[in-house]
């Protein structure tokens, strides 16, 4: 396939598209071809400082005085513009990520638009409370609270769903009245990077939505350390999340962290087999397995073990990879390319390590022809035991690990036997098992007879090494608001 040229990708600061102040750029490579896709502004400390100062100034000025109804109207207008540009946003995201274009069209874009509209509805409903007390020093008091934006929010996003995850953070931040600086991922700066210009075109005052591109160590560190940033919302790896938690603690910034996962798919013996296999396959192969909720630990009650091994292997072998001509835009494509050469090497190395540890390979992720881009076929292993790499590590690729269990207690213990705690799927027709198990799983989200049904109204986030706080739902909004208490002596 040919690689399109997306030209030079600029920052968006104070309402204008601008290059990095020192003119620095980096190359963005297309995962499907391994060739140059775009050159991107490589921001440094001075660019980040300009963006944060623009955000702080407008918060002190026009944006700070913008009422909730107007913030809601602007968010709806931004949703309209994202919808109007849906085809181009899906195209750029497919090329920068290597994901099938249809995934962006069916999932990323509609969920992004819905999230903007959901939080638009909250913008004029940020009510405080009146709270009765016994008074103060023998005098009656009137006590009330109101909700104020926390201030400038730094939104740091990953590459695996760049536009959607940026909007998960942007929409509640703007509804709450914060101004923001988005740091895009160096691996996926195109679609998320459009949000600055689109927000300005929607009518948000210049400085409310700023975009800085650049690397994590340089632009990301400058942003998280900036003294005018009051809130950091980060989605990415657990390792970087840990660094950011420490940085945030230095100046007591509010920190929300959405980190890695190692989700279990628990299949009980009474499960509806066709539905379970389809759901497990989706949880393994969507986005080439590069989702935080990827259901990579497939725990199967022993009577179904053979059937699941057989059907999942067949499903893995039947996956349609991106065609050589149209790449991930090819109609019918189910899986595209992994994000970059380094990650592709790592996922292949994990497959080899799994073999060396004695896990039994049912189908392996051989790279398909033609020999360009970072493609791999799904790999399924069975006889995986606790402690093996496939039971332990987030692989972030299309690699599934089947592990048998006998009893409900054993399934829960296996599912909880991980440092992560993001999400789990349960496959059973027994409502007692479903509710009992849901309560005992150490995760932020349980899906029963489905896999990871993301929705703007449902909180999304994890426990343990999967993070702190929540994206989406009213819980996300609370993360961008301070509740201030006022006591009036009467
Ligand atoms: P990453 O941690 O490498 O990078 C994420 C972002 O952080 C990027 O923008 C990067 O430039 C920036 N960054 C890197 N170092 C930084 C630093 N020192 N200071 C500030 N910013 C820095 O993660 P990734 O590879 O882009 O994304 C994959 C990871 O994201 C996986 O672990 C996945 O599970 C996780 N993820 C979690 C969720 C969730 O909701 N829990 C959703 C999607 C992805």
pLDDT of residue 358: 97
Which pLDDT does position 341 carry in this prediction? 95
Among 237, 256, 289, 475, residue to substitute to test ligand 1 (most atoms within 8 Å of Cβ): 237
Q: Are strands 141-149 and 481-489 parallel, antiparallel or unpaired?
A: antiparallel
Nearest to 182 by CA among 210, 202, 216: 210
179-204 pLDDT tens trace? 999 999 999 999 999 999 999 999 99
**Mean predicted confidence (pLDDT) in 373-397:** 96
Residue range 312-316: mean pLDDT, rounded: 97
Is residue 72 in contact with ligand 1, taking CB distance under 6 Å?
A: no
| Residue 423 CB–ligand 1 contact under 6 Å | no
Candidate of 158, 166, 188, 224 to mutate for ligand 1, largest count of ligand atoms within 8 Å of Cβ: 158
| Rounded-to-integer distance, Cα 436 and Cα 381, Å | 29
Q: What is the pLDDT of residue 114?
A: 98
Query: Please, where in the chain does CATH 3.40.605.10 lie?
Result: 8-259+467-489
What global pTM score does this model have? 0.97
**pLDDT for the residue numbered 332:** 84
Q: Where in the chain is the domain with CATH 3.40.309.10?
A: 264-456
- CB–CB of 476/459 below 8 Å? yes
pLDDT in tens, 16-51: 999 999 999 999 999 999 999 999 999 999 999 999
Q: Is 178 a catalytic residue?
A: no
pLDDT tens profile 47-64: 999 999 999 999 999 999
Distance in Å, CA 55 to ligand 1 centroid: 23
* pLDDT at residue number 327: 81
Catalytic residue check, 70 = no
Query: For 363-453, where are the alpha helices, taking DSSP H only?
Result: 389-392, 408-416, 431-440
In CATH terms, the superfamily for domain 264-456 is: Aldehyde Dehydrogenase; Chain A, domain 2 (3.40.309.10)
Name the CATH superfamily for 8-259+467-489. Aldehyde Dehydrogenase; Chain A, domain 1 (3.40.605.10)
Does any ligand 1 atom lie closer than 6 A to the CB of residue 394? yes
Task: Tell me what pLDDT residue 241 has.
Answer: 98
Question: Rounded to the nearest whole angstrom, what is the distance from the C-alpha of residue 158 to the centroid of ligand 1?
Answer: 4
Q: How confident is the model at residue 238 (pLDDT cuts 50, 70, 90)?
A: very high
Q: From the CB of 259, is ligand 1 less than 6 Å away?
A: yes
Measured from the CB, is residue 216 less than 6 Å from ligand 1? yes
238 Cα distance to chain centroid: 13
- Dump pLDDT digits (tens) for 94-118: 999 999 999 999 999 999 999 999 9
Q: What contacts 78, CB < 8 A, 6 or more positions away?
A: 116, 198, 199, 202, 204
pLDDT at 386: 96
Q: Residues with Cβ < 8 Å from 134, sequence gap 6 or more?
A: none
Ligand 1 pocket residue status of 472, Cβ below 6 Å: no
């Amino acid at each position: 396939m040919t690689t399109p040229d997306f030209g030079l990708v600029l920052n968006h600061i104070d309402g204008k598209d601008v290059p990095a102040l020192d003119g620095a750029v980096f190359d963005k490579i297309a995962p499907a071809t391994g060739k140059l896709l775009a050159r991107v502004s490589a921001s440094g400390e001075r660019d980040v400082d300009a963006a944060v100062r623009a955000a702080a100034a407008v918060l002190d000025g026009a944006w700070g005085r913008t009422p909730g109804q107007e913030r809601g109207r602007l968010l709806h207008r931004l949703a309209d513009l994202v919808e109007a540009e849906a085809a181009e946003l899906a195209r750029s995201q497919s090329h920068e990520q290597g994901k099938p274009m249809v995934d962006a069209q069916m999932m990323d874009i509609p969920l992004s638009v819905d999230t903007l509209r959901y939080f638009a509805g909250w913008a004029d409903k940020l009510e405080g409370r009146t709270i009765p007390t016994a008074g103060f020093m023998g005098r009656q008091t009137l006590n009330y609270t109101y909700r104020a934006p926390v201030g400038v929010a730094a939104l740091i996003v990953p590459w695996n769903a760049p536009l959607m995850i940026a909007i998960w953070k942007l929409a509640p931040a703007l509804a709450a009245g914060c101004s923001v600086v988005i740091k895009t991922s160096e691996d996926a700066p195109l679609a998320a990077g459009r949000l600055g210009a689109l927000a300005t075109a929607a009518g948000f005052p210049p400085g409310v939505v700023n975009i800085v591109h650049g690397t994590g160590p340089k632009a990301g560190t400058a942003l998280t350390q900036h003294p005018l940033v009051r809130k950091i919302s980060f989605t990415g790896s657990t390792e970087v999340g840990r660094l950011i938690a420490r940085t945030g603690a230095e100046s007591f910034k509010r920190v929300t962290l959405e980190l890695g996962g190692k989700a279990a798919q628990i299949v009980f013996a009474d499960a509806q087999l066709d539905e379970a296999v389809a759901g497990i396959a989706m949880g393994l192969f969507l986005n080439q397995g590069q989702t935080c909720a990827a259901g990579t630990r497939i725990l199967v009650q022993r009577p179904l073990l053979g059937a699941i091994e057989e059907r999942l292997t067949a499903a893995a072998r039947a996956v349609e990879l991106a065609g050589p001509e149209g790449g991930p835009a090819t109609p019918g494509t189910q899986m595209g390319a992994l994000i970059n050469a380094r990650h592709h090497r790592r996922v292949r190395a994990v497959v080899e390590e799994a073999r060396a540890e004695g896990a039994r390979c049912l189908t392996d992720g051989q790279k398909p022809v033609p020999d360009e881009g970072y493609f791999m076929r799904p790999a399924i292993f069975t006889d995986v035991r606790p402690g093996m790499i496939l039971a332990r590590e987030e692989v972030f690729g299309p690699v599934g690990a089947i592990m048998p269990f006998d009893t409900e207690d054993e399934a829960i213990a296996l599912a909880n036997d991980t440092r992560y705690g993001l999400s789990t799927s349960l496959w059973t027709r027994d409502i007692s098992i479903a509710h009992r198990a849901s309560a005992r799983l150490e995760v932020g989200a349980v899906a029963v007879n489905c896999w990871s049904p993301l929705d703007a109204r449902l909180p999304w986030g994890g426990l343990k090494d999967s993070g702190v706080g929540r994206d989406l739902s009213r819980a996300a909004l609370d993360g961008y608001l301070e509740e201030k208490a006022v006591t009036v002596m009467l």
